[in-house]
């Protein structure tokens, strides 16, 4: 059994005890009206046709639930490591100055150099208090890259969910109200009784700028790191 499967099961068990969701105004995306509108992260975009088709089907089911707002398809991705907010000067722990961005991009080259491509699979549908997500099975390599990036760049922010707690996933929808919480739990439970999703290969990781907005973040690639196929 995939080592992370137990952790995904535990995350779903925790969600079933939630009595209130974490709504958009209380999440990272709410930073757009507070003067910080550009977030930096290492991530891999999700563009495999079979995966996109599977996630599209899930989105169509959950979008009928009150208070559930699916992300646009061009937002779907697997985060490897969140870096922080791009700023003129690093005045706060999560701020990253322009010179630091350049250093992060360079330091990451050593982390990704020699990293083989790897096979993963879309697992079951689940949820955190902030989002509905698809589990990514066979993704221990993503967690390993998260840890290696932290070790290579000790100056970047380390979140509570990083390192040994990091669970690779694809966020499908966010929450605008608690109105449909009971229906959401029932719907996800039914989806989890179905089969897992398709397998796919992770071939690259991107350092991205996420432009935050009321709709959903839009992405701009700073650098792309190709994983090796020589293995």
**Strand partners of residue 182:** none
Q: Is 222 part of any domain?
A: no
106, part of any domain: yes
pTM of the model: 0.94
Query: Residue 12 falls within a domain, yes or no?
Result: yes
230 falls within a domain: no
Number of folded domains that form the chain: 1
Specify the pLDDT at position 94: 86
Residue partners of 130: CB distance under 8 A and separation at least 6: 21, 22, 27, 174, 175
Q: Does residue 224 lie in a domain region? A: no
Return per-residue pLDDT of the chain as tens, 231 residues. Answer: 477 999 999 999 999 999 999 998 887 766 654 677 899 999 999 999 999 999 999 999 999 999 999 999 999 999 999 999 998 887 787 889 888 999 999 999 999 998 999 999 999 999 999 999 999 999 999 999 999 999 999 888 999 999 999 999 999 999 999 999 999 999 999 999 999 999 999 999 999 999 887 777 889 999 999 999 865
User: What pLDDT is stored for residue 102 in this prediction?
Assistant: 92
Distances (CA, A) of 79 to 16, 42, 92, 208, 218: 24, 6, 22, 10, 14
Residue 163 maps to which CATH number? 3.90.1140.10
76, part of any domain: yes
Q: In terms of residue numbers, what domain contains 47? A: 5-217
Is 223 inside a domain boundary? no
> Is residue 227 domain-resident?
no
């Amino acid at each position: 059994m995939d080592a992370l499967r137990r952790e995904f099961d535990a995350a779903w068990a925790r969600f079933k005890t939630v009595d209130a969701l974490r709504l958009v105004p209380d999440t990272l995306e709410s930073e757009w009206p507070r003067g910080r509108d550009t977030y930096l992260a290492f991530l891999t975009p999700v563009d495999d046709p079979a995966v996109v088709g599977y996630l599209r089907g899930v989105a169509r089911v959950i979008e009928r639930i009150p208070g559930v707002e699916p992300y646009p398809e061009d937002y779907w991705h697997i985060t490897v490591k969140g870096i922080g907010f791009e700023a003129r000067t690093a005045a706060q722990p999560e701020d990253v100055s322009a010179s630091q961005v350049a250093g992060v991009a360079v330091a990451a080259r050593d982390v990704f150099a020699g990293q083989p491509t790897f096979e993963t699979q879309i697992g079951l549908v689940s949820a955190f208090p902030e989002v509905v997500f698809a589990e990514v099975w066979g993704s221990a390599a993503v967690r390993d890259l998260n840890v290696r990036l932290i070790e290579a760049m000790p100056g970047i922010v380390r979140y509570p969910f990083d390192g040994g707690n990091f669970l690779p996933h694809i966020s499908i929808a966010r929450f605008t109200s608690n109105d449909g919480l009971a229906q959401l739990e029932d719907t996800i439970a039914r989806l989890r009784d179905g089969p897992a999703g398709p397998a796919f290969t992770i071939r690259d990781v991107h350092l991205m700028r996420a432009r935050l907005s009321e709709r959903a973040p839009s992405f701009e690639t700073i650098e792309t790191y190709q994983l090796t196929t020589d293995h």
